[in-house]
């Protein structure tokens, strides 16, 4: 793919500068001013322009200019145009003066003329280059938006299927039924918790993000119902930094990670284990940890199922390189799923950049 892009770039380079040479030769013939020196001057002009425009492209790439703010891009392109026009003129003018290409004029006049010619030509080159990459970047962002919307719809359906299934409801209702006589108050609370989970499942993914505090309520309801099934085999620990409570997170993402921890970790342990949820600020970024007793099996190592895959995809489409997800065996009997995302205004800026 890389070689294809390079070959296309050089094809446009030769085509563009070649067309400019043909236009100049045409007008030279049209006005009967064609001389051998004129042809040499035109070819040398095109050669210098081609070489320095390529150097200018290298500067753009090495400075990551196309990733910066739009205003900064435009201003830098204008400055690059002036600077490289001056460089081209400094190279071309002495050569033309020494070999007396074109009309016999003073060196100062030749220098000014070349500068005036190179500025608009390199400005057009930069405009074409900038517009091409701007259009391609916009198209890619539109495709990312479409992919995100498709993933959201898919996640909504899979979340509903994952939560509204006979096995889950059967366990929850059995637990509630056992509580009705011995602890009516807890039974009523369990019904409310089940109702909250079902309602959240049905309304999941209506928004790109929700405050962490809202997500935690769903997770606590889910863990409260699972506690009825595991009883004293399940220990739950929350370590939440209050600064992160209002930070936006993808809806149902944390719940999905907790569900994976229960399904592939706690349920495999005869003595049960611990679920620990940590939300903290680390290095100016929002860090979410879901730790569980268990062992990292081949299932997780090779990408896991829908839960792990959807988490990676959603983070990538929402934040790009500004977010990360990894799952690892941090201790002999402790598995950790770690998500890192931008905080506050940084999060909004990252999402605007991806969607714009």
pLDDT digit string (tens) for 246-263? 999 888 788 888 888 888
Q: How far is CA 277 from CA 234, 236, 286, 335, in A?
A: 13, 8, 13, 12
Same domain, 344 and 265: yes
Same domain, 257 and 136: no
Sorting pLDDT into bands at 50, 70 and 90, what band is 164? Answer: very low
Same domain, 122 and 216: no
CB 337 within 8 A of CB 310: no
Q: What confidence score (pLDDT) does residue 2 get?
A: 47
Same domain, 126 and 7: yes
Task: Give rounded-to-5 percent helix, strand, coil for the chain.
Answer: 70, 15, 15
> What are the pLDDT digits (tens) for 320-335?
888 999 999 898 889 9
- What backbone phi and psi angles, to 5 degrees, belong to 266? -60, -45
Q: Which residues neighbour 196 within 8 Å (Cβ) at sequence distance 6 or greater?
A: 217, 218, 221
Of residues 41 and 98, more confidently modeled: 41
The verdict on residue 125 lying in a domain is yes
- The count of structural domains within the chain is 2
Q: Which of 88, 117, 142 lies at the terminal end of a domain, its last residue?
A: 142
Same domain, 240 and 116: no
Domain housing 63: 2-142
Strand partners, 277: 238, 290
Q: What confidence score (pLDDT) does residue 200 get?
A: 67
Q: Rounded distance, CA 323 to CA 318, Å? A: 9
The verdict on residue 118 lying in a domain is yes
Same domain, 127 and 212: no
Q: What confidence score (pLDDT) does residue 237 get?
A: 94
Same domain, 343 and 213: yes
Same domain, 113 and 218: no
Q: Which of 96, 126, 142 lies at the terminal end of a domain, its last residue?
A: 142
Strand ordering across the sheet containing 273-282 = 234-240, 273-282, 285-293, 334-341, 324-331
Do the strands 210-211 and 248-249 form a parallel or antiparallel pair, or are they unpaired?
A: antiparallel
Same domain, 216 and 105: no
Same domain, 347 and 216: yes
The verdict on residue 262 lying in a domain is yes
Work out the percent of the chain whose per-residue pLDDT is above 70: 80
Q: What confidence score (pLDDT) does residue 252 get?
A: 79
The verdict on residue 260 lying in a domain is yes
Same domain, 138 and 210: no
3-class state of residue 206 by DSSP: coil
Find the CATH number of the domain harbouring 275. 3.30.565.10
Q: Which of 94, 118, 142 lies at the terminal end of a domain, its last residue?
A: 142
The verdict on residue 147 lying in a domain is no
- Region 26-40 average pLDDT: 70
Q: Which of 9-13, 26-30, 339-343 has the lowest mean pLDDT?
A: 26-30
Q: What confidence score (pLDDT) does residue 210 get?
A: 85
Same domain, 216 and 350: yes
The verdict on residue 285 lying in a domain is yes
pLDDT of 79 > 80? The answer is yes
Tokens representing residue 276 in the block: 């620990």
> What are the pLDDT digits (tens) for 88-147?
888 888 777 666 665 666 778 778 888 888 888 888 888 888 888 888 888 887 787 777
Q: What confidence score (pLDDT) does residue 235 get?
A: 92
- What backbone phi and psi angles, to 5 degrees, belong to 265? -115, -75
Q: What confidence score (pLDDT) does residue 216 get?
A: 92
Of residues 39 and 294, more confidently modeled: 294
Q: Which of 210-224, 243-257, 290-304 has the lowest mean pLDDT?
A: 290-304
The verdict on residue 129 lying in a domain is yes
CB 292 within 8 A of CB 275: yes
Q: What confidence score (pLDDT) does residue 1 get?
A: 42
Sorting pLDDT into bands at 50, 70 and 90, what band is 51? Answer: confident
Q: Which residues neighbour 193 within 8 Å (Cβ) at sequence distance 6 or greater?
A: 221, 222, 224, 225
Tally Cβ neighbours within 10 Å of residue 56. Answer: 22
Element (H, E) at 308: helix 306-319
Q: Which of 166, 195, 150 is nearest to 174 (CA)?
A: 166
The verdict on residue 164 lying in a domain is no
Across the chain, mean pLDDT equals 79
Q: Which of 77-86, 200-209, 298-307 has the lowest mean pLDDT?
A: 298-307
Q: Rounded distance, CA 151 to CA 250, Å? A: 12
Q: Rounded distance, CA 99 to CA 86, Å? A: 20
């Amino acid at each position: 793919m890389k070689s294809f892009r390079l070959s296309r770039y050089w094809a446009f380079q030769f085509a563009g500068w070649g067309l400019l040479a043909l236009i100049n030769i045409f007008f030279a013939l049209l006005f009967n001013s064609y001389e051998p020196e004129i042809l040499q001057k035109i070819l040398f002009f095109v050669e210098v322009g081609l070489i320095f425009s390529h150097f200018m492209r290298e500067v753009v790439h090495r400075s990551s200019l196309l990733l910066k703010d739009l205003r900064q891009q435009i201003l830098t392109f204008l400055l690059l145009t002036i600077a490289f026009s001056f460089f081209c003129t400094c190279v071309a003018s002495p050569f033309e003066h020494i070999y007396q290409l074109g009309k016999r004029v003073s060196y100062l006049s030749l220098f000014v003329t070349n500068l005036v010619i190179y500025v608009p030509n390199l400005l057009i080159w930069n405009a074409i280059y900038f517009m091409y990459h701007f259009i391609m970047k916009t198209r890619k962002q539109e495709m990312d938006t479409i992919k995100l919307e498709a993933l959201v719809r898919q996640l909504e359906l899979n979340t509903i299927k994952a939560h509204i299934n006979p096995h889950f409801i059967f366990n929850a209702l059995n637990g509630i039924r056992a509580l009705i006589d011995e602890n009516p108050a807890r039974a009523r609370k369990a019904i409310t918790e089940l109702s909250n989970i079902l309602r959240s499942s049905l309304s999941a993914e209506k928004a790109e993000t929700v405050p962490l505090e809202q997500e935690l309520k769903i997770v606590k309801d889910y863990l409260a119902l699972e506690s009825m099934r595991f009883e004293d085999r399940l220990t739950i620990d929350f370590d939440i930094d209050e600064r992160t409570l209002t930070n936006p997170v993808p809806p149902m993402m944390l719940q999905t990670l907790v569900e994976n921890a229960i399904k592939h970790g706690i349920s495999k342990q005869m003595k049960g284990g611990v679920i620990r949820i940590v939300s903290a600020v680390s290095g100016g970024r929002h860090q979410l940890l879901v730790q569980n007793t268990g062992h990292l099996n081949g299932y997780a190592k090779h990408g896991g199922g829908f839960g792990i895959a959807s988490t990676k995809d959603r983070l990538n489409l929402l934040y790009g390189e500004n977010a990360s997800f990894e799952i690892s065996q941090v201790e002999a009997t402790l598995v950790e799923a770690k998500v890192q995302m931008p905080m506050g205004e940084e999060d909004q800026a990252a999402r605007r950049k991806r969607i714009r």
